[in-house]
């Protein structure tokens, strides 16, 4: 094989480190962004948090003698976006941040050979500052970091209070391990017997005896082998003489299948109960818990921090970045002023490199927030009907429309709207929620699929429970509003809303 040198011309896309960092920050959620900022603060001495009221106390020392050239940056770190001119009387987007440090307070010698884009701000005030940190005495570490007790732990705590032999304790442990998250046994008695060591010679009667003992644990209904058994165990806790108690036991013992299929006519005929008596029994059954272990499950609550806040002021909708989502960052003027132009020492090079990285990070952070605000502004402008009238007024919207409006690529809009949340007077929604496909109307218009789902939800909520609406009937009612939707499409939307079919929505009471 002969070796040779060849010269080729071609075009290729190369992503600079700055661009890669900007894209990565763009797709981070607010929590991940706070972690990223904290890591940057820990690794880069050129970055610091800007605390409230410390602007006058953080004056930069005089510039080094070797650095005659200084870069002066704007005093105002804020950016304001206004809505379209025809929307001006009723729409406004605000991006309010604190001003950066004045030129007199921030000056440094910038070496000429340092490759820095002079248009990047030395001080970037993000739109939000962190909430004042609580003192160490006020921080309840145990309450914030303790692990919630699991279902198994709480049942074993009750087991320790029960007097059982060591043999029965082994059976009880096996029964607890066989529970699922709802509190039902996942193994039959025969399967449990096979799990024990043959040397123990455990009999079926022993397992059933221990099972009946455990079925007395709180909450009632635990350790059942079926839903019917769990509901009967819960009925056992009611005192004798409770109205409709016997009728409820009769229904659960012998006619649970008819109850599940909501065949109330056959149920009344077989139980010989009147409609009023059967209604009382069903009310009692509905008061029971089909998932008895749910109240013992860990109840750790996860909170969503909105990235964008939307509020109405008179006739205008104000859009602003959350004041608690991103800390305020700036270049540490003390360390930055130590950079010398003619010094090639390792220490000076260390400061140069970290100053450059800090500028890149601040620029990427600024770009992220500005892009997020632009996208949020366009979404609010387009979905103003939703904010004023609810989901039924949602308009069709796709990523391409927002991308064209702000002059960015669809992939950028997709990154911005993923895991970013907007707080509105109607609740907190992911930005993705405001995008939906469209369905044509008989009048030539378009309706958002989100609006159609909202209409389906409204119709099923307002229907007669004794005669629920079928999918065909819902399609007919929508057609009366000039919304042409096929029955199978109604069924698809209904299933996405977790609404059961009409035969399962039928109620006697």
Q: Do the strands 421-424 and 308-313 form a parallel or antiparallel pair, or are they unpaired?
A: parallel
Rounded to an integer, what distance in angstroms lies between the CA atom of residue 50 and that of residue 52? 7
Taken in order 377, 382, 385, 386, the sign of the CA dihedral is negative
| pLDDT at position 148 | 53
| Residue 164 structure tokens | 């059982």
Rounded to an integer, what distance in angstroms lies between the CA atom of residue 138 and that of residue 152? 33
| pLDDT at position 502 | 86
| Tens-binned pLDDT, residue by residue, of the chain (509 aa) | 678 788 888 776 666 777 777 788 888 888 888 888 888 889 888 888 877 655 444 433 333 333 333 333 233 333 333 333 333 333 344 433 333 333 333 333 434 443 433 333 443 344 443 444 444 444 444 444 444 567 788 888 888 888 888 888 888 888 888 888 888 988 888 888 888 877 777 888 888 999 999 998 888 888 888 898 999 999 998 988 889 899 999 989 888 888 888 888 888 889 888 888 988 898 899 889 888 887 776 555 677 889 999 999 888 899 999 878 777 888 888 888 888 876 778 888 888 888 888 888 888 888 898 999 999 999 999 999 999 998 888 898 999 999 999 898 898 899 889 889 999 999 999 999 999 887 777 666 778 888 889 999 999 988 888 888 999 999 899 888 888 888 898 999 898 888 988 887 877 66
- Residue reference for tokens 């007199």: 104
Rounded to an integer, what distance in angstroms lies between the CA atom of residue 467 and that of residue 411? 47
| pLDDT at position 130 | 40
Cα-based distances in Å from 494 to 180, 230, 251, 487? 29, 30, 30, 10
| pLDDT at position 98 | 37
| Residue 292 structure tokens | 């008895």
Q: Are 123 and 271 in contact (CB under 8 A)?
A: no
Per DSSP, the three-state class of 316 is strand
Q: Are 251 and 271 in contact (CB under 8 A)?
A: yes
Rounded to an integer, what distance in angstroms lies between the CA atom of residue 305 and that of residue 307? 6
Q: Is 9 left (phi over 0), alpha (psi -120 to 50) or beta?
A: beta
Rounded to an integer, what distance in angstroms lies between the CA atom of residue 394 and that of residue 390? 7
Rounded to an integer, what distance in angstroms lies between the CA atom of residue 360 and that of residue 46? 12
| Residue 275 structure tokens | 């409609």
Q: For the purposes of burial, counting CB atoms within 10 Å of the CB of 256, is it exposed (0-12), middle (13-18) or buried (19 or more)? A: middle
- Ordered by start, the domain boundaries in the chain are 17-55+72-132+308-381, 151-296, 436-505
| pLDDT at position 421 | 93
Q: Which residues contact 69 (CB under 8 A, 6 or more apart)?
A: 109, 110, 112, 341
Instruction: Quickly count: other Cβ atoms within 10 Å of residue 39's Cβ.
Output: 10
| pLDDT at position 423 | 94
| pLDDT at position 96 | 38
Rounded to an integer, what distance in angstroms lies between the CA atom of residue 431 and that of residue 445? 24
Strand partners, 330: 48, 123
Rounded to an integer, what distance in angstroms lies between the CA atom of residue 469 and that of residue 486? 15
SS3 content of the chain, % helix, strand, coil (to 5): 45, 10, 45
Instruction: Give the model confidence (pLDDT) of 24-79 as tens digits.
Output: 888 888 888 888 888 888 988 888 887 765 544 443 333 333 333 333 323 333 33
Strand partners, 340: none
Omega within 30 of 0 (cis) for the link into 111 = no
Long-range own/partner contacts, residues 262-269 (CB < 8 A, 24 or more apart):
262/503, 262/504, 262/506, 262/507, 262/508, 264/506, 264/508
Rounded to an integer, what distance in angstroms lies between the CA atom of residue 436 and that of residue 275? 45
Q: Do the strands 308-313 and 47-49 form a parallel or antiparallel pair, or are they unpaired?
A: unpaired
Q: Which residues contact 251 (CB under 8 A, 6 or more apart)?
A: 259, 267, 271, 278, 281, 282, 285
CATH architecture of 436-505: Orthogonal Bundle (1.10)
Of 194, 192, 187, 236, the C-alpha closest to 215 is 236
How far the first Cα of the chain sits from its last, in Å, is: 88
Cα-based distances in Å from 348 to 42, 60, 115, 358? 19, 18, 15, 15
Rounded to an integer, what distance in angstroms lies between the CA atom of residue 18 and that of residue 294? 49
DSSP state of 463: S
Based on DSSP, count helices (H) and strands (E) in the chain, helices before strands. 21, 10
């Amino acid at each position: 094989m002969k070796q040779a040198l060849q010269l080729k011309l071609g075009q290729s896309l190369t992503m600079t480190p700055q661009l890669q960092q900007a894209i990565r920050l763009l797709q981070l959620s607010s929590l991940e962004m706070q972690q990223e900022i904290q890591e940057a603060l820990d690794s880069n001495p050129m970055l610091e948090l800007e605390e409230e009221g410390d602007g006058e106390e953080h004056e930069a020392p005089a510039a080094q003698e070797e650095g005659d050239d200084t870069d002066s940056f704007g005093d105002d770190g804020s950016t304001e976006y206004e809505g379209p001119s025809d929307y001006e009387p009723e729409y406004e987007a605000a991006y309010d941040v604190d001003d950066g440090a004045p030129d007199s307070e921030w000056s440094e010698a910038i070496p000429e050979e340092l490759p820095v884009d002079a248009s990047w701000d030395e001080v970037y005030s993000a739109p939000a500052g962190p909430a004042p940190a609580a003192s160490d005495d006020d921080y309840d570490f145990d309450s914030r970091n303790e692990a919630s007790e699991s279902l198994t732990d709480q049942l074993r705590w009750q087991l320790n209070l029960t007097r059982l032999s060591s043999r029965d304790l082994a059976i009880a442990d096996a029964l607890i391990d066989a529970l699922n998250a709802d509190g039902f046994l996942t193994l039959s008695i025969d399967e449990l017997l096979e799990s024990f060591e043959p040397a123990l010679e455990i009999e079926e009667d022993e397992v059933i005896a221990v099972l009946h003992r455990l079925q007395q644990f709180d909450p009632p209904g635990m350790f059942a082998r079926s839903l019917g058994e769990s509901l009967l165990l819960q009925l056992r806790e009611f005192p004798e003489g409770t109205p409709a108690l016997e009728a409820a036991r009769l229904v659960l013992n012998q006619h649970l299948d008819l109850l599940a299929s909501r065949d109330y006519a056959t149920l009344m005929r077989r139980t010989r109960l009147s409609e009023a008596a059967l209604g009382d029994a069903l009310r009692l059954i509905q008061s029971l818990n089909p998932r008895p272990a749910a109240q013992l499950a860990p109840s750790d609550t996860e909170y969503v921090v909105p990235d964008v806040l939307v509020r109405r002021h008179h006739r205008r909708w104000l859009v602003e970045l959350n004041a608690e989502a991103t800390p305020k960052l700036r270049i540490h003027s003390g360390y930055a002023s130590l950079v010398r132009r003619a010094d090639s020492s390792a220490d000076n090079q260390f400061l140069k490199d970290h100053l450059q990285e800090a500028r890149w990070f601040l620029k990427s952070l600024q770009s992220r927030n500005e892009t997020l605000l632009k996208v949020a502004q366009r979404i609010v402008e387009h979905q103003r009907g939703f904010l004023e009238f609810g989901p039924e007024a949602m308009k069709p919207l796709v990523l391409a429309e927002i991308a064209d409006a702000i002059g960015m690529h669809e992939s950028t809009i997709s990154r911005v709207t993923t895991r970013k949340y907007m707080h509105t007077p109607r609740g907190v929604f992911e930005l993705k929620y405001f995008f939906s496909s469209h369905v044509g109307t008989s009048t030539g218009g378009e309706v958002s699929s989100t609006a159609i789902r909202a209409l389906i939800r409204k119709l099923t909520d307002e229907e007669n429970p004794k005669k629920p609406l079928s999918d065909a009937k819902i399609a007919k009612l929508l057609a009366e509003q000039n919304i042409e939707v096929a029955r199978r499409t109604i069924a698809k939307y209904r299933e996405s809303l977790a609404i059961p079919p009409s035969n399962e929505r039928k109620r006697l009471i």
